[in-house]
Chain A
Amino acid sequence: MDAPLLRIEALTKTYLLGGRPLEVLRGVSLDIAEGDLVALTGPSGAGKSTFLHLVGTLDEPTGGRVLFESRDLASLDEEDLARFRNETVGFVFQSHHLLPEFSALENVMMPALVGRRQRAEARALAAGSLERVGLADRMEHRPGELSGGEQQRVALARALVLEPRLLLADEPTGNLDPQTADGIHALLHDLNRSLGITAVVVTHNEQLAVSLPRRVRLVAGRLV
């Protein structure tokens, strides 16, 4: 069998809080194959967000390795990391983190512009991505003029605009009512099926977790 898309080996993360070490991850090992749709669940403070950040190279592990296609992400320098985040990873944050001064379309264009695509190309990609999440008629609205579900869908469109191979979503439905959350879940399934995107979704939502093909539970910094 081929090497997994993502191999996580004995990942640890320790923060210093007021001079006292706080162990958030205590050795997490996990293989994720291409096309996997993984639900990461666990109580608050179990280290789920930290785990996503480490996998997405937004933070550096204290120990252990993250291998993407057998390549150790720790061996990349700052600029290679930036390229990796731009081309390979898509993030959806818990509180969407859209840029409030820009319209939905501009927000979704942003990763393409960061990747130095032409403006027209970025616009076309962004329009396609917004259409995919069902927001074709909301492109010129600013985040403040959108509902919570719409904002989260814009965030999803932004994460997917460059069709990354890995989608990391941190409680994408955490702040949403059940119906809206269901819509987002359906969207995730669709995307996984149609684009073959590998996704790791942190969620508290049992319903969503159950619906995903693979479930991983993190408790107190360890997988159980």
Chain B
Amino acid sequence: MDQTTTNPMSAAPRPVAPVFAAGSFALGATGVVLAPVVAAVLHVILGDRFGLPAGTATALSLGGAALWAIAGGGAAAAVGRRLAFYEILAAALVLLALSLGPVVLLLPRLRGLPLPLHAWESQGRVVLVVGLVLVGVASGALAFLGSTLSYLFTGSGRLDPSFGYELYIARSHIRLSPRMLVGLFLIVVTGVVPGLLAGVAWSLWRDAAERRAARRGEPHERPRLPATMLMTLISIGGVATGVWALTVVLSVMSGFEADLKKKILGAHAHGVVLKYGQNDFAEWKQVMDRVRTVPGVAAATPFLYNEVMLSAGNNLTGSVLKGIDPATVGGVTDLSRDMEEGKLEWLSRPSDIPESRRAQAKSLREAIGGREDVATASPPPPKGGAAEPGPERPREKLPGIVVGRELARSLRVGVGDAVNVVSPFGDIGPAGPQPKSRPFRVAGIFYSGMYEYDAKFAYLDLAEAQRFFGTGDSVTGLELKVADVDAARPIMRRVLGALDGYPYRTKDWGEMNRNLFSALAMEKIVMAVILGFIVLVASFIIVATLVMLVLEKTREIAVLKSMGAGLPSIMKIFVAEGIVIGAVGTAFGLLLGLGTCLLIDKVGIPLDPEVYYISNLPVLIEPAQFALVALAALALSYLATIYPATKASRLRPVDGLRSE
């Protein structure tokens, strides 16, 4: 019959928004594609122009870019009065195509430009590609987040940010009683297995009670947990586990990083002033005076840097020898505090250095007429006899040297023992240049906690070092301590400005240890992404839970629609539920993470100090990190609600009403 087809009587079809709108796409693409550009530009402006610390500049620029992407997506949705999913997807694909095509291909040829991407590129093409893909995904996800928010609040044709009856309905869907939440919390806290066992025991006990009641003929009602309720609890547990794992692992990694930073900054200066050219930094005293007046500089000390060999008896090792000024070095590094044995001041007063225990024992034996080959106590005598001082010089006159704990161990020397310093750049002898060697006496042993430093570094008095290396009054450079470690870079730039640049140059601790810290940062990002998958899986459970809820509530959705609930309004119900699940899970996870971190911090998990060079598992609770994890978990939970919520809002009322 002809009525079945569209007939002329039928009016204009219902105005349906197109699946893909050019205007929405343009706005979405502006948000998605330009977000990384915004991040880069903001970083340059904030970091270089305003001189903000690197961490703050990065955080602000990423935040700004995120807002940009969210705003772009929001505008796309507001213009299209739809979620603008396909437009944003297309924009994200455009960004991926742009970054993976031209950027990856052209970047190696643009080495001259100060692009921040070069840092990634220098770590290999895989890192660059993975990084760019992650940027594309993040940018698209943020824009989509913005578009959904905008649709929820403006999709009804007017600004409607309220969650009135929607929350009311949502609460009736997921009735989380305090008892249930406490039970769930305990299950997660106890590491799932004991909690589940307790749950099984509880349910067996209840079964028994039910049977007893049945035998006696008493009425007995057993409360049943609906399937969607169970799913809700499982999703909360999933989010909590993910957030827990993320916060704990990231805090421990931060702990290691902070420990490393502390040790590096303890043993080394926050920045150095160097001079182009070699060994002609004789005007260092004037430079030091000028540097000390730069605001932000807390202390300065000169140093002379050389690589030498140290020998004691048959033991030989390479070492970094620094000439230092014991009077001022304490203001810059922790060296004087790290002294385990002996004193740093003895460098300049070698006559105060006590006799070594070995020499004491020897003189004691001589006094009582003992024989020399009687075994002495600690330290055990090294093979081939102890390091004896040069016979031509009385040992009291020998200048002092401070060595690290591991260095002392490998040379088998203690305070008061003699150590030969051998420099390859020596005097010209009859057969050409010959290495210069000179004995020193160990004035002290330091322990910085960094194996590399304890095994490599040795310190001399500056004047002694200058004499030994024949550099006159020249030094290698100045070491500086700044008031704010995180602002070291801009302060060092100011120092350079105060010195009028060339021939001086400056380096801050970040530059001096760039490889180490960028490797740590990369490790942390990779860890966060991997553990983030737990939260991602948890958000999939949220999707499944909500889809089940939508199916269970089709009739209710239909009734609400018949009362005039619009699409965004129905969406809000399920979005609110997902957010409640995500928020409760996140709160649990944060509590658990915080508790675990405090436990690690207070009780401590011992590590083998020989292997890790640190006695306890370090942990650093960074509020910003916790906040970021919570935000990410909430954002994922929120995004997880969009599909089920859209599904619910698109249900036709008749379908729900007819299914009786």
**A and B part of one assembly:** yes
Q: Is B3 within 8 A of A59, CB to CB?
A: no
Q: Say yes or no: B15 contacts A77, CB within 8 Å.
A: yes
Known: A12-B4, A58-B653. A79 touches B165 (CB 8 A): no
Within 8 A of A (CB), among B1-31: 1, 3-7, 9-16
CA distance A65 to B559 in the complex (A): 24
- Name which residue of chain B comes closest to A9, CB basis: B9
Chain A residues near B11 (CB, 8 Å)?
65, 72, 74-75
**Interface-located stretch among A38-46, A82-90, A209-217:** A82-90
Contact A83 B9 (CB under 8 A): no
A63 pairs with B565, CB closer than 8 A? no
Measured between alpha carbons, how far is A74 from B15 in the docked complex, in Å?
8
Given A59-B652, A99-B172, A101-B172, residue A14 in contact with residue B3 (CB < 8 A):
yes
Check B549 for interface membership: any CB of A closer than 8 A.
no
Chain A, 3-15, contact with B by CB distance < 8 Å: what is the 0/1 string?
A: 0000001101010
**Residues of the A chain whose Cβ atoms lie less than 8 Å from the Cβ of B156:** 79, 82
Smallest CB separation, A51 vs chain B (Å): 12
Question: Closest CB of chain A to B442's CB: distance in Å?
Answer: 81
Name, among B10, B562, B660, the residue most crowded by chain A CB atoms within 10 Å (CB to CB). Answer: B562
Closest chain A CB from B659 CB (angstroms): 11
Q: Which of B636-660 contact A (CB under 8 A)?
A: 652-654, 657, 660
A79 contacts B566, CB within 8 Å? Answer: yes
Q: Which residues of A are found within 8 Å of B657, using beta-carbon distances?
A: 53, 58, 93, 97
In residues 83-137 of chain A, which contact B (Cβ within 8 Å)? 83-87, 91, 93, 95, 97, 99, 101-102, 106, 110-111, 113-116, 119
Within 8 A of A (CB), among B569-587: 569
Q: Are B4's CB and A114's CB within 8 A?
A: no
Question: Is A23 engaged at the interface, CB distance under 8 Å to the other chain?
Answer: yes
- Within 4-37 of A, Cβ neighbours of B (below 8 Å) are at 9-10, 12, 14, 21, 23, 26-27
A95/B660 in contact, CB under 8 A? yes
Q: Is the CB of A23 within 8 A of B654?
A: no
A78 near B: Cβ within 8 Å? yes
Contact call B164/A26, Cβ cutoff below 8 A: no
Main secondary structure of the interface of B (DSSP, over half): loop
Size category of the B interface is: 35 or more
Are B561 and A65 in contact (CB-based, < 8 A)? Answer: no
Residues 147-176 (chain A) with a chain B CB within 8 angstroms:
158
Q: How far does the Cβ of B24 sit from chain A's closest Cβ, in whole Å?
A: 16
Distance A62 CA – B6 CA, assembled complex (angstroms): 7
Across-interface contacts of A95 in B (CB, < 8 A): 660
Q: Which residues of A contact B15 (CB under 8 A)?
A: 75-77
Residues of A near B165 (CB, < 8 A) are: 110, 113-114
Q: How far is the CB of B80 from chain A (nearest CB, A)?
A: 13
Contact residues in B for A21 (Cβ distance below 8 Å): 4
Task: Give chain B nearest CB distance to A47 CB in angstroms.
Answer: 13
A64 close to B (CB within 8 Å):
yes
CA distance in complex: A26, B4 (Å) = 9
Q: Could you say which residues of chain B place their CB within 8 Å of the CB of A56?
A: 562
B555 within 8 A of A: yes
The residue that B654 contacts in the complex, of A53, A63, A113, with Cβ under 8 A, is A53
Nearest-CB residue, chain A, relative to B8: A63
**Could you say which residues of chain A place their CB within 8 Å of the CB of B563?**
85-86, 91, 110-111, 114, 158
Any A CB within 8 A of the CB of B560: yes
Report yes or no: A63 in contact with B3, Cβ–Cβ below 8 A.
yes
Distance, CA A82 to CA B157, complexed state (A): 11
Q: Which of B558, B564, B653 contacts A86 (CB 8 A)?
A: B564
Complex Cα distance, B16 from A64, in Å, reads 18
Residue from B168, B559, B569 in contact with A82 in the complex, judged by beta carbons closer than 8 Å: B569
Verify B566–A91 contact, CB threshold 8 A. Answer: no
Tell me if B427 counts as interface (CB < 8 A to partner A): no
Q: Out of A10, A27, A63, A83, name the residue touching B6 (CB < 8 Å).
A: A63
Task: Please name the residue on chain A nearest to B175 by beta carbon.
Answer: A101
Does B366 reach chain A (CB closer than 8 Å)? no
The reply to whether A91 and B3 contact each other, CB–CB distance below 8 Å, is no
- Which chain B positions have C-beta within 8 A of A102? 172
A71 to B372, CA, bound (A): 119
Contact B4–A62 (Cβ < 8 Å): yes
- In the complex, the chain A residue whose C-beta lies closest to that of B9 is A10
With a cutoff of 8 Å between Cβ atoms, the chain B residues found around residue A79 in the complex are 155-157, 566-567
With A76-B14, A79-B155 in contact, is A59–B654 under 8 Å at CB?
Answer: yes
Complex Cα distance A82/B652, Å? 12
Smallest distance from the beta carbon of B596 to chain A beta carbons, Å? 38
Q: Does B556 make an interface contact (CB < 8 A)?
A: yes
B452 within 8 A of A: no
> Which residues of chain B have C-beta atoms less than 8 A from A77's C-beta?
14-16
Q: Does B162 contact A (CB under 8 A)?
A: yes
In the assembled complex, B484 has its CB within 8 A of some CB on chain A: no
Q: How far is the CA of A116 from the CA of B567 in the complex (A)?
A: 15
Among residues of B, the one whose C-beta sits closest to the C-beta of A118 is B164
Say whether, besides A82-B566, A84-B564, A93-B657, A116 and B4 are in contact (CB < 8 Å).
no
Contact status A116-B162, CB under 8 Å: yes
**Per-residue A-contact encoding for B161-172, CB less than 8 Å = 1, 0 else:** 010110011001
Q: From the candidates A14, A60, A78, A93, name the one contacting B566 in the complex (CB within 8 A).
A: A78
- A60 and B14 contact, CB distance less than 8 A: yes
Q: Is B388 an interface residue (CB 8 A)?
A: no
In the bound assembly, the distance between CA atoms of A182 and B127 in angstroms comes to 78
A63 B10 Cβ-Cβ under 8 A? yes
Asked if B653 contacts A59 (CB within 8 A), the reply is yes
**Does B552 make an interface contact (CB < 8 A)?**
no
Residue of B nearest to A119 (CB): B164
Shortest CB-to-CB span from B613 to chain A, Å, is 60
A62 to B13, CA, bound (A): 10
Residues of A close to B5: CB separation below 8 A: 63
Q: Is the CB of B566 within 8 A of A23?
A: no
Query: Inside 8 A of B660's CB, which chain A residues have their CB?
Result: 95
Whole-angstrom distance between the alpha carbons of A9 and B7 in the complex? Answer: 12
A116 pairs with B555, CB closer than 8 A: no
- Is B207 located at the chain interface by the 8 A CB criterion? no
A119-B165 Cα distance, complex, nearest whole Å: 9
Residues of chain A within 8 A of B7, CB atoms compared: 10, 12, 63-64
Q: Does B160 contact A (CB under 8 A)?
A: yes
Q: Are B559 and A99 in contact (CB under 8 A)?
A: yes
Q: Give the shortest distance, in Å, between B224 (CB) and chain A (any CB).
A: 15
Whether A114 and B652, one on each chain, are in contact in the complex, defined by CB atoms closer than 8 angstroms, is: no
Q: Select which of A14, A74, A116, A119 is within 8 A of B12 by beta carbon.
A: A74
12 contacts between A and B (CB under 8 A): A12-B3, A26-B1, A58-B654, A64-B10, A74-B14, A75-B14, A82-B156, A82-B561, A82-B566, A91-B562, A99-B172, A115-B564
8 tightest A-B CB contacts, nearest first = A86-B564, A113-B165, A82-B566, A101-B172, A58-B653, A12-B3, A85-B564, A59-B654
On A, residues with C-beta under 8 Å from B are: 9-10, 12, 14, 21, 23, 26-27, 53, 56, 58-65, 72, 74-80, 82-87, 91, 93, 95, 97, 99, 101-102, 106, 110-111, 113-116, 119, 158
A-binding residues in B (CB < 8 A): 1, 3-7, 9-16, 155-157, 160, 162, 164-165, 168-169, 172, 555-556, 558-567, 569, 652-654, 657, 660
Starting from the known contacts A10-B9, A53-B654, A78-B566, 7 additional A-B residue pairs (CB-CB under 8 Å) come to A23-B3, A53-B653, A58-B558, A62-B10, A64-B9, A85-B563, A86-B565
